[in-house]
Amino acid sequence: MSEDYNDNKTIQAQSSETISGSGSGVSPDIDYVRPAEIPEQDLYHGHSFITKWVFCQDAKVIGVQYFLLATFTGIIGLILSWLMRLQLGFPELASFMTAEHYYQFVTMHGMIMVVYFLTALFLGGFGNFLIPLMVGARDMVFPYLNMVSFWMFFIAVGVLLASFFVPGGPTGSGWTLYPPQAILEGTPGSGMGIMLMCISLILFVAGFTMGGLNYLITVLQARTRGMTLMRMPLTVWGIFTATVLAMLAFPALLVGALMMSLDNILGTSFFMPTILKAGEVLEYGGGSPILFQHLFWFFGHPEVYIVALPAFGIISDLISVHARKNIFGYRMMVWAIVGIGALSFFVWAHHMYVSGMNPWFGFFFATTTLIIAVPTAMKVYNWILTLWRGNIRLNTVMLWCLGFIVTFVNGGITGIFLGNVTVDVPLSDTYFVIAHFHMVMGIAPLMVIMGAVYHWFPLVAGRFLDEKLGKWHFWLTFLGAYSIYFPMHYLGFIGVPRRYFEMYDSPYMTSAVGMNEFISMAAFIVGAAQFILIYNIIRALKIGKPSGHNPWKACSLEWLTPSVPPEHGNWGERLPVVHRWAYDYSVPGAKEDFITQTTPPSDVANTEVEKT
Amino acid sequence: MHAGIIFFLVILGSVLFHIFTPWYWTDVASNWGGMDDTITLTFWVGGGVFVAVCLFMVYCVFKFSYKEDRKAEYKPEDKKLERILTWTTTLGVAALLAPGLIIWNQFISVPKNAIEIDVMAWQWGWQYRLPGEDGKLGTTQVTNINDNNPFGINLDDPYGKDDVMVQTDVINLENNRPVKILLRSVDVLHNWYVPQFRAKMDAVPGIVTYYWFEPNKTGEYEVLCAEYCGVGHYAMRGGVVVQDNQDYENWLQEQETFSDLMAKQKLLETGETKLAKK
């Protein structure tokens, strides 16, 4: 079966020159696109339920699998956050919770949300589903490896969740897993818990590397004819750059986890100095706890951008489509993504200003950190300038975009507080930090994910999600989340430290009791509001309005497949040929307010379209 | 349209919340008022950008919401505008960074007349050591720590003998005298943090870290551990009492030195051996 498919393609590739050369229209030459240089890839088509839906090699199905599993772990993370907020707002109702439990929930919530939810969802979920469709490929270049990547992720999640059931429970060392406490008694889960956490991370990194190689090589090698790099949608640029970061950053986490496991199991002393515990000197000596922090944050800071860059890319596309206007300053946007990605490797120690590292580093890292604010600000300007003189559809997707801009700018500004070394000293390790990073890399990317779900659901399922439910979902989430994290900054100003199981009655904390109750209430509501989406999805799958082809009138390739939802192989018999960028909206002189990427120049000869 | 109004109210609400918040920082009680000033400056610049960007967005929502007959502008790039925005942002960022770096330079340059205090942390508690009449702290080692030598002072170090030992979690400080906090930990990371003094730094096992400040308001303050250190983290509190010169001297006189402690131990031991001989 797959051989037939392949033969077809080879013929087409050979004859493509003649096809485009003799195109119908005014001037045949202007439609010329270089012929393909390599024959098309051979795809494996599943025959049984198992090969079609379980061990599947279709990137779209793998994307959905990633999405579902990441969402599942995300819901666990959400429930953990409810338990934490119950303890912080209404401790009298949480008498079942000990400090051990609390710290375990904090740790698992953090690690799940950052790695197993956001990273897996953006790269594994959206990356798999969108990259081949958006660059005009039939699939990822290594479909089998892609399948293995998902199942490695599956095992990693399994190992992570298994730690809830081992003696001592999961690790309670904070998501940063700082030694020495992570592997010493006095921290919950210091034996089995931390070991399983490290193993799970190692598996995740291994699986992710398989997927990541796929995304990179697909973008570099499998773009269709005419799809130059500077014609790619920003979504692909964002995911591509984030994957490069991940490839370089995850190894640091991997060795950190490995070395700590050795310290834990074999008694090496990579991170362990001489330690006195309960009156006895332990058999460690000479190691450096700060070394682990460098390894962790060398991964941890790029990790922020591994989540943020795909979000930047996706939001650019959503805004452009629904404002019916080209993304403003496309080239600047691409260079900003690449520049932010490169700079993100030079800022890691801004997480460590008060860690006890040489204080002279403060000058360097404060400077690099504030430099990164410039390209980031440019992106924000370009988003709002895209709205300017647009024709803005105020639908659910656009609402998520607007919500993203508000929360991202808010969180970005507080990042300037924390990046500026002096300001960080009083604020670090307080609730200001919690509020900052939840706003900027929790809520803001979540807004993007939700916008993307409402935007691309018709492509996945062929049906619309309900707009009315969507708007309820948006307003509850946006207003709720904003009222959780905006006031929380002020707890940080008071000086309330993070990771406190109980506040006691310090004079400057008692005043915060009311606020904590309010924040907890808002957290319960926001969490519950997410179930609106689940209901909406189930409802839409059954009775949602059919969307048909290209329901949003978008220009980019993923909407131009012959069948909706796209089949395995995406493009039917012939690969699309690309003639322009993905943002030709509202071109003066054009019949409609969008010109798809596959429209040849001869079809729009009398419009004022710019060459891209 | 409603969306625009709600977004506008969110921005307005944020500004009002900031103006009228009852939750704000405690009065600064050290020389680090400059940190507060940098925060205030960042608030004005950053807050201004936040409000401007969001209001612009709200304006667009009002002005350019979808109409069938309207066509959006088609203008892929505007080099000049992009250049202006880049340079303005760069200038703004530099204006925030410069004062930050200046104060950081002060933060890491400890005045010569600062009194050094050894803050020793463990799971979960604090204790303190002050230099004796020689003005110098004796060197220490984790492996020396035992009941007779709670700070692990090296016995052959002459500077250690007269060190003043404060074996509670409350330390007294002299008002208007710079203090260099020398932090060490015998087990995991900790962080000695008094919100009113603004400054903080991790205590890291294996090395000695430091920071300095000059208390300038007498009174009692709470010490919080600000680096997660295991299950007792939230309960790891201490105290600081800032006193005027005379009160401080009186307090200092009452404290025990290392040689006092050793003499006492010796007395006890000889007593025990005598008892045993009988």
* pLDDT, tens digit, 9 for 90 and up, residues B256-267: 998 888 888 888
CB contact under 8 A, A378 and B233: no
Query: Which pLDDT belongs to residue B213?
Result: 95
Spatial CA neighbour of B180 closest among B138, B121, B129: B129
Query: Which pLDDT belongs to residue A294?
Result: 96
Look-up of token digits 């080879």: A10
Query: Which pLDDT belongs to residue B1?
Result: 65
Spatial CA neighbour of B152 closest among B225, B212, B205: B205
Residues of chain A contacting B60 with CB distance shorter than 8 Å: 384, 387-388, 390, 392
Specify whether B96 is located in the same domain as B141: no
Of B50, B97, B233, the CB nearest to A499: B233
CB contact under 8 A, A387 and B64: yes
Residues of chain A contacting B199 with CB distance shorter than 8 Å: 425-426
Long-range contacts of residues A278-285, Cβ cutoff 8 Å, at least 24 apart: A279/B146, A281/B142, A281/B143, A284/A180
Specify whether B53 is located in the same domain as B169: no
Closest Cα in chain B, distance from residue A427 (Å): 8
Please give the tally of structural domains in chain B.
Answer: 2
Tokens read off for A41: 């890839």
C-alpha distances in angstroms, A568 versus A224, A555, B229?
Answer: 16, 22, 52
CB contact under 8 A, A384 and B53: yes
Instruction: Tell me what the mean pLDDT of segment B145-160 comes to.
Output: 90
Output phi, psi for B245, to 5 deg: -45, -50
At A266 the three-state DSSP class reads coil
CATH code, B182: 2.60.40.420
Spatial CA neighbour of A483 closest among A446, A515, A442: A515
Spatial CA neighbour of A91 closest among A554, A585, A500, A546: A500
B225: closest chain A residue by CA? A497
Query: Which pLDDT belongs to residue A10?
Result: 40
A498: closest chain B residue by CA? B226
Q: Is B106 exposed, middle or buried (0-12, 13-18, 19+ CB in 10 A)?
A: middle
CB contact under 8 A, B76 and A500: no
- Rounded distance between C-alpha atoms, residue A457 and residue A455, angstroms: 6
A370: closest chain B residue by CA? B93
Query: Which pLDDT belongs to residue A511?
Result: 74
Per-residue pLDDT for B23 more than 90?
no
Of B47, B94, B187, the CB nearest to A180: B187
Give the rounded distance of the alpha carbon of A542 from its chain centre.
28
Check: CB of residue B197 under 8 Å from CB of residue B220. Answer: no
Please provide the size of chain B in residues: 278
Question: Quick one: which H or E segment has residue A259?
Answer: helix A234-265
Specify whether B98 is located in the same domain as B125: no
Query: Which pLDDT belongs to residue A36?
Result: 84
Spatial CA neighbour of B27 closest among B235, B245, B215: B215
Specify whether B165 is located in the same domain as B84: no
How does DSSP classify residue A569? Answer: T
Query: Which pLDDT belongs to residue A27?
Result: 52
C-alpha distances in angstroms, B32 versus A58, A419, A541, B195?
Answer: 59, 18, 59, 11
Specify whether B99 is located in the same domain as B228: no
Per-residue pLDDT for B233 more than 90?
yes
Look-up of token digits 């401007």: B52
Specify whether B95 is located in the same domain as B139: no
> Which structural domain, as residue segments, surrounds residue B12?
2-64+75-108
Query: Which pLDDT belongs to residue A612?
Result: 78
Closest Cα in chain A, distance from residue B273 (Å): 25
Q: Which residues contact residue A227 at a Cβ distance below 8 angstroms, ignoring those fewer than 6 apart?
A: A135, A136, A557, A578, A597
Please provide the size of chain A in residues: 612
Look-up of token digits 């299950």: B231
Instruction: Tell me what the mean pLDDT of segment B246-261 comes to.
Output: 91
- Rounded distance between C-alpha atoms, residue A223 and residue A237, angstroms: 13
Q: Supply the DSSP string of A344-412, one letter for each residue.
A: GGG-GGGG-TTTTS-TTHHHHHHHHHHHHHHHHHHHHHHHHHHHTT--B--SHHHHHHHHHHHHHHHHH
Residues of chain A contacting B19 with CB distance shorter than 8 Å: none
Query: Which pLDDT belongs to residue A508?
Result: 65
A328: closest chain B residue by CA? B76
Query: Which pLDDT belongs to residue A13?
Result: 40
Specify whether B93 is located in the same domain as B201: no
Query: Which pLDDT belongs to residue A8?
Result: 42
Residues of chain A contacting B183 with CB distance shorter than 8 Å: 356
B17: closest chain A residue by CA? A487
User: What is the β-pairing status of strands B190-193 and B202-203?
Assistant: antiparallel
Instruction: List strands edge to edge, sheet with B256-257.
Output: B209-213, B179-185, B115-122, B125-130, B164-166, B256-257
Per-residue pLDDT for B240 more than 70?
yes
Check: CB of residue A194 under 8 Å from CB of residue A260. Answer: yes
At A230 the three-state DSSP class reads helix
C-alpha distances in angstroms, A260 versus A71, A176, A177, A266?
Answer: 29, 12, 9, 10
Best residue in A275, A276, A331, A501 for a mutation probing chain B (most B CBs within 10 Å): A276
Give the rounded distance of the alpha carbon of A500 from its chain centre.
28
Specify whether B239 is located in the same domain as B167: yes
Specify whether B51 is located in the same domain as B133: no
**Which range has the worst mean pLDDT, A27-31, A113-117, B34-38, B177-181?**
A27-31
B70: closest chain A residue by CA? A391
Specify whether B94 is located in the same domain as B153: no
CB contact under 8 A, A394 and B86: no
Specify the amino acid at residue A50: I
Phi-psi region of A163 (alpha: psi -120 to 50; beta: other; left: phi over 0): alpha
Q: Which residues contact residue A117 at a Cβ distance below 8 angstroms, ignoring those fewer than 6 apart?
A: A70, A71, A73, A74, A77
Look-up of token digits 């860059």: A309
- CB–CB contacts below 8 A, A to B: 329
Q: What is the mean pLDDT of each run of 10 residues along chain A (612 residues)?
A: 41 40 54 84 83 90 96 96 94 91 96 96 95 94 95 97 94 94 92 94 95 95 93 96 96 95 94 92 93 96 95 96 94 95 94 93 94 94 94 94 96 93 92 95 95 96 94 96 95 91 74 89 96 96 92 94 90 91 91 91 86 80
Q: Where are the beta strands (DSSP E) in A388-504?
A: none
Query: Which pLDDT belongs to residue B67?
Result: 87
Closest Cα in chain A, distance from residue B118 (Å): 15
Cβ atoms < 10 Å from Cβ of B220 = 12
Closest Cα in chain B, distance from residue A236 (Å): 19
Output phi, psi for A24, to 5 deg: -70, 145
* pLDDT, tens digit, 9 for 90 and up, residues B86-116: 999 999 999 999 999 999 999 999 999 999 9
Please give the mean pLDDT across all residues of chain B.
91
- Rounded distance between C-alpha atoms, residue A584 and residue A423, angstroms: 44
Specify whether B100 is located in the same domain as B129: no
Residues of chain A contacting B232 with CB distance shorter than 8 Å: 99, 186
Q: What is the pTM of this model?
A: 0.92
Residues of chain A contacting B202 with CB distance shorter than 8 Å: 354-356
Q: Within a domain: residue B276?
A: no
Tokens read off for A528: 């519950």
Q: Which residues contact residue A355 at a Cβ distance below 8 angstroms, ignoring those fewer than 6 apart?
A: A290, A293, A349, B202, B204
Of A391, A402, A583, the CB nearest to B66: A391
CB contact under 8 A, A494 and B6: no
Query: Which pLDDT belongs to residue B147?
Result: 86
- Rounded distance between C-alpha atoms, residue A466 and residue A475, angstroms: 15
Give the rounded distance of the alpha carbon of A445 from its chain centre.
7
Residues of chain B contacting A503 with CB distance shorter than 8 Å: 234
Query: Which pLDDT belongs to residue B277?
Result: 66
Residues of chain A contacting B105 with CB distance shorter than 8 Å: 363
Best residue in B6, B73, B192, B208 for a mutation probing chain A (most A CBs within 10 Å): B73
Instruction: Tell me what the mean pLDDT of segment B230-253 comes to.
Output: 94
Spatial CA neighbour of A264 closest among A156, A343, A171: A171
Tokens read off for B29: 């009680």
Residues of chain A contacting B34 with CB distance shorter than 8 Å: 422
ipTM of this predicted structure: 0.93
Residues of chain A contacting B93 with CB distance shorter than 8 Å: 370-371, 373-374, 416
Per-residue pLDDT for B253 more than 50?
yes
- Rounded distance between C-alpha atoms, residue B188 and residue B155, angstroms: 25
Specify whether B96 is located in the same domain as B119: no
CB contact under 8 A, A393 and B66: yes
Residues of chain A contacting B187 with CB distance shorter than 8 Å: 180-181, 184, 186, 275-277
Query: Which pLDDT belongs to residue A17?
Result: 40
